[in-house]
Amino acid sequence: MDTAALLTEIGALLFGLALLGRLARRIGLTPIPLYLLAGLAFGHGGLLPLSASQEFTEAGSEIGVVLLLVMLGLEYSPDELVGNLKRHAPSGLIDAVFNAVPGAALALILGWGPVAAVVLAGITWVSSSGVIAKVLTDLGRLGNRETPTVLSVLVTEDLAMALYLPILTAVLAGSGLLMGGLTLGIAVLTITAVLVVAIRYGGFISALVSAKNAESFLLGVLGLTLLVAGVAQGLKVSSAVGAFLVGIALSGEVAEHASQLLSPLRDLFAAVFFVFFGLHTDPRSIPSVLLPAVGLAVVTMGTKVATGYIAAKRAGIAPRGRWRAGLALTPRGEFSIVIAGLAVAAGIEKQIGPLATAYVMITVVVGPLLARLTDIGRPRRRAKVVATPVPVGAPIEVDDLIGPEEQAAMLPEPRTESDAPEPHRAATGRAGAGPPGETPTGETSADETAEFDEAAERDDVH
């Protein structure tokens, strides 16, 4: 290994990503599309292929997905997870039917056979947890009312993938029903065991990694997350599911502190993940399958919007939040590429690889842009400031004179619709909650939240 070349490539790559990130935020976009385009430019068939840093980007991309999912898990408690999964089970079924059927249908229309149909169904079914987590973070929507619905759909898909991937592996290998059933049973037992441990022994796990020293705490949380993710992956269960369940298991101040310490690492390795995705996409293989990929993307992005809209409607979310949920779910990513890779390695159909790559690239570039649509032209209410009456004719004493700061403190704070938060953990969240019956500083009470929700609902209707 040429150490000088390795350090040079990594340094140039990260510095370039920093510039792209600043450019994206200056023009009001999430940096994901620019990261992907950078990967295309410096990957196989690109302008200047990188060679020395391939192993780093590959390992970094895996860590990026794991950190994205554990950070999502830290936002929710075990009770919220179980409640949301029960509540959104019908939405998960709708998601599977709406989004898997178009992929399977296209494979059959193209004459690729039933095995390829099973493969393409999985590619179009599952959304990208990594991309969506990054989009929600960049747009500041982790606390929105529709975010638990989006997360529930993603978790349902990830858990379904934990069952789908062993079955697909057996089908591609031509294994019999016995071997397929065995791999499926192992996956189910693994998920159940990890979920039970996360829910029942979350307090013990939090105490296990808790430490006053920030260095020890960071190493403990990161090490446990990677350990569980690796074991889950080794048992043919998604590493993303394992990382998410670790985040769920941590609670209270431990979860809040972990979120603060892991955020910079998540941002670093998430950027590497998106670049790695582009690095392994050959732009020269895309034109031949571009037309069917575009058609499939249009259809399945529409079905994803419908899925998110229906799921959010069932959860009682206002119309604007329903659209946000649907549009946020449109990107496909890591799971789709994994599924396509399994099919290519098994030699099922040569065109599945380029088609999946083009399809994912379209959704992962267009999806984050669509997610911003609900923020464009959003009406803002004019703030109503109540004037403080000043008595006229009364004698003024020197002690009665007040300065600008005191005057400002006497006035009520202006309130606008855009200032109203859409909390999803204000009542049940683990971090930042005050004593029962009190509203924490900087948060909105239940009555105020209801008032804002009713006002937002009226705006959305009209």
Mean pLDDT of 96-103: 95
Contact assessment for residue 41 and residue 47, using Cβ atoms and an 8 Å cutoff: yes
The dihedral through the CA atoms of 173, 178, 184, 187 has a sign that is negative
Per residue in 362-373, pLDDT (tens digit) is 998 898 888 888
Residue 95 has pLDDT above 90, yes or no: yes
Q: Hey, what amino acid is at 219? A: L
Q: How many helices (H) and strands (E) does the chain have?
A: 19, 0
pLDDT at 311: 92
Mean pLDDT of 106-114: 91
Distance CA 20, CA 274 (A): 13
Place of tokens 């590497």: 272
Confidence of residue 386 (pLDDT cuts 50, 70, 90): very low
Contact assessment for residue 305 and residue 330, using Cβ atoms and an 8 Å cutoff: yes
Give 430's DSSP letter.
S
pLDDT at 283: 77
Contact assessment for residue 250 and residue 74, using Cβ atoms and an 8 Å cutoff: yes
Residue 7 has pLDDT above 50, yes or no: yes
Residue 444 neighbours by CB under 8 Å, 6+ apart: 420, 421, 423, 426, 452
Retrieve residue 139's tokens.
């747009």
Query: How many C-beta neighbours within 10 Å does residue 296 have?
Result: 24
Using the CB atoms, write b or e for 381-409: b if 16+ within 10 Å. Answer: eeeeeeeeeeeeeeeeeeeeeeeeeeeee
Retrieve residue 56's tokens.
């780093």
- Classified by CATH at the fold level, domain 59-267+285-375 comes out as Na+/H+ antiporter like fold (1.20.1530)
pLDDT at 178: 66
Query: How many C-beta neighbours within 10 Å does residue 213 have?
Result: 9
Which is more confidently placed, 401 or 170?
170
Confidence of residue 293 (pLDDT cuts 50, 70, 90): very high
The domains of the chain are located at 59-267+285-375, 398-461
Mean pLDDT of 169-192: 70
pLDDT at 330: 94
Retrieve residue 79's tokens.
């009770």
Place of tokens 């995705």: 277
Find the distance separating the first CA and the last CA of the chain, reported in whole Å. 63
Q: Residue 251 phi/psi, 5° resolution?
A: -145, 165
Number of residues that this document lists for the chain: 462
The DSSP secondary structure of 295-362, one letter per residue, reads HHHHHHHHHHHHHHHHHHHHTT--HHHHHHHHHHT----HHHHHHHHHHHHTTS-TTHHHHHHHHHHH
pLDDT at 33: 78
